Structure 1
Amino acid sequence: MLPHRPDRTTSPQTSDAFKILVISSLRYPIAEPFAGGLEAHTHALALGLRERGHSVLVAGAVGSDPDVVGHEFGMMPPSRPGERADITENDEVRAAEHRCFTALMDDVRDGLLGSFDLIHNNSLYSVPVERAATLPYPMVSVLHTPPLYWSERVLGDKRHRDSDFVAVSASTARSWAPLLTPRVVLNGVDTDAWPAGPGGPGAVWSGRIVAEKAPHLAIQLARAAGLPLTIAGPVMDTCYFDAAVAPHLGDDVRYVGHLERAELAALVGSSAVALVTPVWAEPFGMVVAEAMACGTPVVAFARGGIPEIVDPSSGRLIDPPADDVLDAADLARATVALHEAAALDRAGVRRFAVERLSLDAMLTGYEAVYRDVLRDHA
């Protein structure tokens, strides 16, 4: 039984409570320390929906938190040495993932997991979308990324309802055109789990350590501004880490590993500013919302969905560097932005996150989607 939280939205009336199957990624367990934002999102979503009175079963990977995932389904084989751990590149992994999702969808179709009002598809895999029309319940699929390799093949025939798809930002929604015109529900974070912190003298960078997140650029920015930098997160691409990050660690730049959420929240909350440096169109930016919930202002490249969730009261946006290489002018502009952001009122930064980027705001958005989808399918 989850504890009552007086700052949370009142649970819905019984008539508005839904029985929901959440399909998560089968690649990584839904357990701390989370492999990435998708796993953290699924964890918070399931617990938040239950707290609002909904019945939620999560189908997830072996090794998931048993308090969240009620049905473990499959285990992905390890990637080969030197391969990216967070993407499906080799044939063995791709085949295993396909078998796991196919078996899961067969069990859903045959009623082996129980009966539901609807399915919330929080995975990034094609099979649930392909099989949606064969299932006895409507499915809401959340688009956590720009279009994937299967998008055109699965959605190109236009035999889908746009209303069955939700994007995590307006930028991500636009990236799926002309295949889809999805609704938008901004991601949210549990602001109780990311409490206000006192700040501190240094900068922080957190997230999956992969080339597209570009912590090596954060190192350059922090050093130019004279700020010590702490990097935290799972090393998902060891080749990138060894070549672009490890050689630049030192007294003023440290890597502290893959932290549990409470440890990470304490680190972020005791930092002056959070750096977010993607070199791709970041679909949303969970680390942005997490930092602001801690009262820590953000300095981020204006890419993807990030400009939708950072305003002058909560941080500074900087132009991405040309060809993803920082020059002297980039460093000078970023130094000004970092010092301006660090001077922002931390209470105001947290207030912005609580009002716009909270778990409650996200759950309210999804409940509206569920009601509309159930009405449309009725």
Structure 2
Amino acid sequence: MTVTVVSVSDTAGGAEAHTVALGHGMRERGHDVVLYGQCPGWEERGLVRREIGLGPKWSRKTMAAGILRVPLERHRTQVVADASIYYLQFKREQIALTAPLSRRAPVVWTEHGRWMGGPAGRLLLAGYARAAEHVSRVVCVGTAVARDLEPVVGRDKLVVVPNSIDTQRFAAPSAEMRATLRERLLPRHFQDRRVAILASRLHGAKRHDRAIAAALASGSALVVVGEGPDRERLKRLGAGSADVHFTGHRDDVPDLLAASDLYLYCGAETDGTPTCVLEAAAAGLPIVAFDGDPGTELVPSCGGLVIGDPSELTPDRAAGLLELRGSGLSYVEQRHGREAWLDAYEQIFGECLR
């Protein structure tokens, strides 16, 4: 089959990584895959990309102008070649482009997170409901995401496929390899310390200041991996401590996880199943999460602790977490491995073609 992805994003986030993994996996299984638009990491995996001329991804800042562009962008779908399946995952593409594309082939959406609130969320929901009349399947990364959508999409079109990771890429290291990675990757004054890590897009909605406060309360050093609009504020919060180290964007996240002792997860209200938690667990790390954040139901299975306030991560509790190292490995391999995830998408696409 030919799977055509229509997606425009210049942000290297979880949804984009999901798209690249799906495109690469489907190609490895012998299907033709092409992207119309832009997705960080797509061409780096040798996948085919073509231009479509859409405007920027919708956000609170771009939505008003984006809505005015809808008639033009619908017209531009004429440059998209015929396909077996059209795959969409961002609200602009779903709301604006599903109807014209569905006249040519089944359309499948993926929903990565909980529905946003406020006026913007209510405005999008009306357009989303109309567009959902033309979609064949909506793949949700978790049951909470599906519950949000059931009133406007209908249960018959919804299917839950949990996020996956490449468990081989994030495999737990041997003691010798871990020591080598710590020496190579960590600041010198971190190497004999208990090291916490977070690897995420640094956005204010995720409230990563909680991770900084928890690390300091526990007497742990903290490595912050990632970029985003909240980075400068977070750097100011950690500026008074030599125990907080910002790396910026890194391509060697699996190695940095392997060099660390525990993972601090902070999630935004609209997050779905956090792949960062799965990646950390696959690397053998115990997880510390915050009560009320999306995805915390994963923590007992992945090995770790859910706290309500950063001050609850005392030095003794942090030290006790190290005994949980590796306890999430089998869960992640069995429930969130890449091959079963690709099987599910391949089955969904096949069902849409019958």
Normalising by structure 1, what TM-score? 0.75
Residue in 1 aligned with 2:186? none
Pairwise CA distance, 1:276: 0.6
Q: Does residue 214 of the first structure (1) align with residue 203 of the second (2)? A: no
Residue in 2 aligned with 1:138? 106
Residue in 1 aligned with 2:262? 273
Distance verdict in 2 for CA 1:247–1:333, change over 3 Å: closer
- State how far apart, in whole Å, the 1-side matches of 2:136 and 2:294 are: 20
Residue in 2 aligned with 1:192? 168
> Aligned AA for 2:211?
A
Q: Does residue 147 of the first structure (1) align with residue 115 of the second (2)? A: yes
Range that drifts further, 92-101 or 282-291: 92-101
Note the aligned Cα RMSD (angstroms). 3.0
> Aligned AA for 2:321?
A
- State how far apart, in whole Å, the 1-side matches of 2:160 and 2:149 are: 12
- Structure 1 spans left out of the alignment, 5+ residues: 1-17, 29-33, 78-84, 320-325
Residue in 2 aligned with 1:322? none
Pairwise CA distance, 1:169: 0.8
Range that drifts further, 213-222 or 351-360: 351-360
Cα deviations by residue, 1:131-155 (Å, 9 ceiling, x for unpaired): 444x310011111122353542224
Question: Could you say what secondary structure the match of 1:53 adopts?
Answer: coil
Residue in 2 aligned with 1:177? 150
Asked whether the 8 Å contact 1:21–1:118 carries over to 2, the reply is yes
Residue in 2 aligned with 1:81? none
Normalising by structure 2, what TM-score? 0.80
- State how far apart, in whole Å, the 2-side matches of 1:349 and 1:301 are: 18
Q: Does residue 368 of the first structure (1) align with residue 351 of the second (2)? A: no
Pairwise CA distance, 1:129: 3.1
Equivalences for residues 120-139 of structure 1 within 5 A: 120-125=87-92, 126-133=95-102, 135-139=103-107
Residue in 2 aligned with 1:107? 79
Residue in 2 aligned with 1:31? none
Asked whether the 8 Å contact 2:267–2:294 carries over to 1, the reply is no
> Aligned AA for 2:254?
A
Choose from 30, 39, 48 the match for 1:53: 30
> Aligned AA for 2:110?
V
- Higher helix fraction (1 or 2): 2
Pairwise CA distance, 1:243: 3.1
Distance verdict in 2 for CA 1:293–1:73, change over 3 Å: farther
Q: Does residue 331 of the first structure (1) align with residue 311 of the second (2)? A: yes
Distance verdict in 2 for CA 1:192–1:73, change over 3 Å: farther
Range that drifts further, 157-166 or 289-298: 157-166
Question: Could you say what secondary structure the match of 1:174 adopts?
Answer: helix
Pairwise CA distance, 1:37: 0.7
Residue in 1 aligned with 2:274? 285
Question: Could you say what secondary structure the match of 1:296 adopts?
Answer: coil
Residue in 2 aligned with 1:315? 304
Q: Does residue 21 of the first structure (1) align with residue 4 of the second (2)? A: yes
Asked whether the 8 Å contact 1:299–1:316 carries over to 2, the reply is yes
Overall identity of the aligned pairs, in % = 24
Question: Could you say what secondary structure the match of 1:283 adopts?
Answer: coil
Question: Could you say what secondary structure the match of 2:299 adopts?
Answer: coil
Q: How many residues align?
A: 324
- State how far apart, in whole Å, the 1-side matches of 2:74 and 2:22 are: 24
Cα deviations by residue, 1:219-240 (Å, 9 ceiling, x for unpaired): 00111111110001112x1xx4
> Aligned AA for 1:252?
D
Pairwise CA distance, 1:209: 0.6
Pairwise CA distance, 1:187: 1.0
Question: Could you say what secondary structure the match of 2:306 adopts?
Answer: strand
Residue in 2 aligned with 1:165? 138
- State how far apart, in whole Å, the 2-side matches of 1:288 and 1:62 are: 23
Q: Does residue 202 of the first structure (1) align with residue 195 of the second (2)? A: yes
Equivalences for residues 300-311 of structure 1 within 5 A: 300-303=289-292, 305-311=294-300
- State how far apart, in whole Å, the 1-side matches of 2:39 and 2:130 are: 34
Cα deviations by residue, 1:83-117 (Å, 9 ceiling, x for unpaired): xx993414686369758853552323xxxx2x321
Asked whether the 8 Å contact 1:300–1:317 carries over to 2, the reply is yes
Choose from 317, 321, 333 the match for 1:354: 333
Question: Could you say what secondary structure the match of 1:369 adopts?
Answer: helix
Q: Does residue 230 of the first structure (1) align with residue 223 of the second (2)? A: yes
Distance verdict in 2 for CA 1:163–1:99, change over 3 Å: closer
Pairwise CA distance, 1:71: 1.4
- State how far apart, in whole Å, the 1-side matches of 2:69 and 2:40 are: 16
Asked whether the 8 Å contact 1:173–1:183 carries over to 2, the reply is yes
Cα deviations by residue, 1:172-221 (Å, 9 ceiling, x for unpaired): 11122311232111111122332323567300011111111121110001
Pairwise CA distance, 1:282: 2.2
- State how far apart, in whole Å, the 2-side matches of 1:266 and 1:86 are: 33
Asked whether the 8 Å contact 2:296–2:306 carries over to 1, the reply is yes
Residue in 2 aligned with 1:87? 59
- State how far apart, in whole Å, the 2-side matches of 1:131 and 1:374 are: 18
Range that drifts further, 360-369 or 197-206: 197-206
